[in-house]
Amino acid sequence: MFIRNAWYIAAWANEVGQAPLARTILNETLVLFRDKAGKLGALEDRCCHRGTPLRFGEVVDGGLRCGYHGLVFDGSGSCVSIPGQVKIPSKACVRSYPLVEKDEFVWIWMGDPNDADSSKILNYPFHNDHAKWPHKHERYHIKASYKLMIDNLMDMTHLAYVHKKTIGGNPKIHVNAQMAVTPNENGLHYLRWMLDCDPPPTYQKAVTFKGKVDRWQEFEFIAPSSIVQWSGALDVGLSAQENRNQDGGFSLRLFHGLTPETESSCHYFWSTANGYRQDEPEATEQLFSEISTAFMEDKEIVQGQQAMLSATGEDRLVDIVSDAARIHMRRTLERLQRAEKPAPPG
């Protein structure tokens, strides 16, 4: 069961061109494309003639042409041409989905199209500020529910065990972190401080510290599936807690978009932006490489967790203190799930 009345990331904007791109979202197989005018379209990936996936087709004047017998569909899903046939039956159409291109993302609305309100899409201005936030992005296919991936990001104590070699740092630091969770209308915010600690390997590769640092992790969860992160560290003595916006330290912005593919798999759209050495492309590359490695560590363990939970169910699990943000996040999802309109009959 999915939350349908929500905007999800369907793709990175630069993934979608005239060549049809097939993607499964919320268990529905879609095809994304740009028409000859560059306009985005998302159609059901199934021709209404014989069920052939439209991904085998190509963009022609008027829309996307099926690669089997040549029916053409426009961006609204209407069939506009049947070779050798003048009259087009009114039933000849495929489902279409509202799309919005914004901040390098292609957002898709999976619910009732009449309820698609693009003003509700979150803003991520950092993708438009290449000077201050140079960045790179990626998509990982994850064989785990998007919920388990969001779980992962709601409990930072895992850094000590999963990411020892990258973004982790000393386990004790994570255990003793100051953690403030603030629920809000769309999800929650949390801020985590690790004061007077050793900078982890990824930070040390990026900038030069004098010694110990004051380190923060700030997360905003926007239900159902976006997480905006700002993390960093400053030398002890620079009053980081009063003002994090100082030059000379380390900071990064991460965007995490977890779009359900099936009940037990998801697309992980993420970007990483370096808030230091912005004029050095190799700094952006290096950070991206470090984060890629760390997220592969997450992917491996979360996929293992999904396989085990798929086999054994969720009985006999025990919550611990560090689950606070995770538990709030799950309650938000449950509230949204309950608010879903029942599917129309038929």
Which residues here bind its own copies, judged by CB under 8 A? 29, 45-46, 48-53, 55-56, 65-71, 82-85, 89, 91-92, 151, 155, 157-158, 160-162, 171, 174-176, 300-301, 304-305, 307-309, 311-312, 314, 316-322
Residue 242 or 319: the one with the smaller Cβ distance to its own copies is 319
Residue 179: other Cβ atoms inside 10 A: 19
Residue type, 71: L
Residue holding tokens 């293992």? 304
Residue 65 or 244: the one with the smaller Cβ distance to its own copies is 65
**Nearest Cα residue to 325 out of 173, 201, 182, 186:** 182
Q: How far is the CB of 304 from its own copies (least distance, A)?
A: 5
How many Å is the Cα radius of gyration of the chain? 22
Three-class DSSP category at 73: strand
Residue 210 or 316: the one with the smaller Cβ distance to its own copies is 316
Query: Residue 82 and residue 73: Cα distance in Å, rounded?
Result: 10
Q: How far is the CB of 120 from its own copies (least distance, A)?
A: 30
Q: How far is the CB of 158 from its own copies (least distance, A)?
A: 6
**Nearest Cα residue to 82 out of 91, 42, 73, 36:** 73
Query: Residue 231 and residue 252: Cα distance in Å, rounded?
Result: 6
Q: How far is the CB of 4 from its own copies (least distance, A)?
A: 18
Containing H/E element for 330? helix 324-339
Query: Residue 76 and residue 96: Cα distance in Å, rounded?
Result: 6
Q: How far is the CB of 90 from its own copies (least distance, A)?
A: 10
Residue 316 or 338: the one with the smaller Cβ distance to its own copies is 316
How far is Cα of residue 248 from the mean position of the Cα atoms in its chain? Answer: 29
Residue 318 or 339: the one with the smaller Cβ distance to its own copies is 318
Q: How far is the CB of 31 from its own copies (least distance, A)?
A: 11
Residue 12 or 56: the one with the smaller Cβ distance to its own copies is 56
In the chain, what's the furthest Cα-to-Cα distance? 78
Q: How far is the CB of 49 from its own copies (least distance, A)?
A: 6
My answer on whether omega of the bond before 224 falls inside 30° of 0, hence cis, is yes
Residue 239: other Cβ atoms inside 10 A: 11
Residue 269: other Cβ atoms inside 10 A: 25
Task: Specify the pairing of strand 105-109 against strand 99-102.
Answer: antiparallel
Q: How far is the CB of 270 from its own copies (least distance, A)?
A: 19
Residue 282 or 314: the one with the smaller Cβ distance to its own copies is 314
Residue 41 or 57: the one with the smaller Cβ distance to its own copies is 57
Task: Specify the pairing of strand 7-12 against strand 105-109.
Answer: antiparallel
Q: How far is the CB of 302 from its own copies (least distance, A)?
A: 8
Residue 13 or 327: the one with the smaller Cβ distance to its own copies is 327
Three-class DSSP category at 123: coil
